[in-house]
Chains A and B, each alone.
Chain A
Amino acid sequence: MAKKKIYIIDDDHDVIDAMTIVLEKNNYEVAAQYDDENVVENVKAQMPDVIILDVMFPEDSSAGFNIARQLKSHDDLQRIPILMLSAINERGIYVGRFSNKDLDESFLPVNLFLEKPLKPAALLEKVASLIGK
């Protein structure tokens, strides 16, 4: 069976490297980009099985949300599941040190959220669940 392909969009190369180590060890093929430019074209070229997307980019704090909407508005891309990395405590997703962090997923066209800092096991579990769908 061909390896499943994961495409990562994150501005932090260490975060990308760490995920790449975990994913490659678990038989995924990984491609990535470090900025928020030409995302739609790049994803079209890669046609990954899962997209991992960071919420924040240095130049635009809501770039992640916009990218997600762009991807979901393309007919041939919208079926690709998106796993969004939500740096906790950002834009009210995490609302306090004791809140139960349940997320309102309806307001964003993404399929799953994953908290930073990432736990390898959680990453693998979420990726697997998205591919299984």
Chain B
Amino acid sequence: METANIAIVGAGKGGYECLKVLLTTPNVLIKYVCDIDPNAKGVMLAKQHKISYVARLSEFIHDPEVDLIFESTGRPEVFEELSRAKLPTTSLVGSGGTRVIFSLLDSYNEVNRSLRSYKMNLERRIIERTEELEKLNTELSKEKAATERLYEQQREINEEKSRYLIHTTHQLKAPFAAIHNYVDIILDGYAGPLAQETRDLVLKIKTRCELLSETILDMLELARLKAQDLELVREDVDLCAVVNDVVERFAVSAAAKRLLVRVDAPKEPLIARTVGKRLFELLAVLLENAVKYSPPDGSIEIAMKVASDGKRVISIMDHGIGIPEANLGKIFREFFRSNNAVRFEPNGNGLGLAIAGEIANLLDITIEVESELEKGTTFHVRI
């Protein structure tokens, strides 16, 4: 848009307002402000803005650059004189028109101002937000680095712990095996005939020996799982076959309690990509518990299905002693045994589920448990 050169005639109240609006209007150049009173309000403002002040019309009326004259004195004789004297290329707007135009201009400027300040606000907010984000980002990456460091340290500590545990259990095993040997030799009569009381006591030693060697093996197993000191080769595994192997593994102990183990398996093989041996171990822990914590003459149900998310789910349900709700969160801890379980079956070391949990961890398997005291327990294994 071309710049319009403007002259304002009359610098009183009306002219002053005109001037103020025009000063903030884009594409406008105010060339002259004309008033006979050199101290008029508008004249002062014009001088501040280095606009030429003239006292008489004749001083600018012949300037061909003037495109537009705003008459704002409100006096008809001034308007008449202007319309007579002005060049034909110059337009003239009288007081009435001037007022209308200025109120329009004023609102236009107002809109512009709000737009501008809105835009500025927006820019400011964008800058602020960007700064905030950057700050957050640096904080985050600092935190991330710190977390990674912590994680690394923790990993080292854990590895150290596992190495230590593997080492100690190894060290425990040999002397322990030697004690066990001697106990067996005594019981087999190699040290001479045994009185019944002696035999009973040595048998107790033998039982504890067996439990302890189980504990040592479990601890070693757990330490190895934790140290990830094991080969994990994933293959396509038929879950039905694994479940059948596990059931077979506990057939004798289930039969001894006259427990019926029912397997509800799909007709076709149910394949999952996992480590068969480890899955066997995990399920064996669960079935062992189901058998162990069921009263005689009952049943255990094993169900297999594909969940809606595609995961394979194996559920092992028993109708045994159940787990007190308060203990549900603790059963995967090492050495934890619930009091009701200890009362029901004194033998156990509380490592079975810790091992199962560790295997689940390694194989991205989740184990969920539902249980009601004295009603039974169901473990869902999602693969």
Contacts and interface: CB of A to CB of B under 8 A. Distances in A.
Interface of A: 12, 14-15, 18-19, 21-22, 25, 87-89, 92, 94-100, 116-121
Nearest to B178: A14
Contacts of B174: 12, 15, 87
A87 B173 contact: yes
A88 B184 contact: no
Contacts of A100: 249
B122 interface: no
A15 B181 contact: yes
B47 interface: no
Given A18-B181, A89-B217, A97 B190 contact: no
A15 B179 CA distance: 9
A104 B305 CA distance: 34
A113 to B, nearest CB: 15
Contacts of B285: 97-98
Given A21-B185, A21-B190, A98-B284, A116 B221 contact: no
Interface stretch (B273-281, B318-326, B331-339): B273-281
Contacts of B313: none
8 contacts: A15-B181, A87-B177, A89-B173, A89-B220, A98-B280, A99-B281, A118-B181, A120-B188
Given A87-B174, A98-B280, 4 more contacts: A12-B177, A89-B173, A94-B217, A117-B178
Most chain B CB within 10 A, of A18, A21, A97, is at A97
Most chain B CB within 10 A, of A12, A92, A100, A117, is at A117
Contacts of B190: 21-22, 25, 120
A121 B187 CA distance: 11
B180 interface: yes
A89 to B, nearest CB: 5
Interface in B164-220: 173-178, 180-182, 184-185, 188, 190-191, 209, 213-214, 217-218, 220
A117 B221 contact: no
A117 B185 contact: no
Interface residues of chain A: helix, strand, loop or mixed (majority)? loop
A42 B249 CA distance: 44
A15 B177 contact: yes
Contacts of B214: 97
Contacts of B191: 21
Nearest to B181: A18
A117 B181 contact: yes
Interface residues of chain B: helix, strand, loop or mixed (majority)? helix
A47 B191 CA distance: 29
A21 B178 CA distance: 13
B184 A89 contact: no
The 8 closest A-B pairs by CB, nearest first: A117-B180, A14-B178, A98-B284, A18-B181, A117-B177, A96-B281, A116-B177, A120-B188
A121 B288 CA distance: 28
B355 interface: yes
Contact of B280 (A15, A25, A89, A96): A96
Contacts of A120: 184-185, 188, 190
A18 B184 CA distance: 9
Given A99-B281, A117-B184, A18 B178 contact: yes
Contacts of B221: 89, 96-97
Most chain A CB within 10 A, of B188, B213, B277, is at B188
Contacts of A95: 277
Given A87-B174, A96-B277, A96-B280, A14 B220 contact: no
A117 B178 CA distance: 7
A120 to B, nearest CB: 5
Nearest to A96: B281
A21 B285 CA distance: 38
A118 B182 contact: no
Contacts of A99: 277, 280-281
A19 B185 CA distance: 9
Contacts of B177: 12, 15, 87, 116-118
Contacts of A12: 174, 177-178
Interface string B292-325: 0000000000000000000000000000000000
Given A12-B174, A22-B190, A87-B174, A97 B181 contact: no
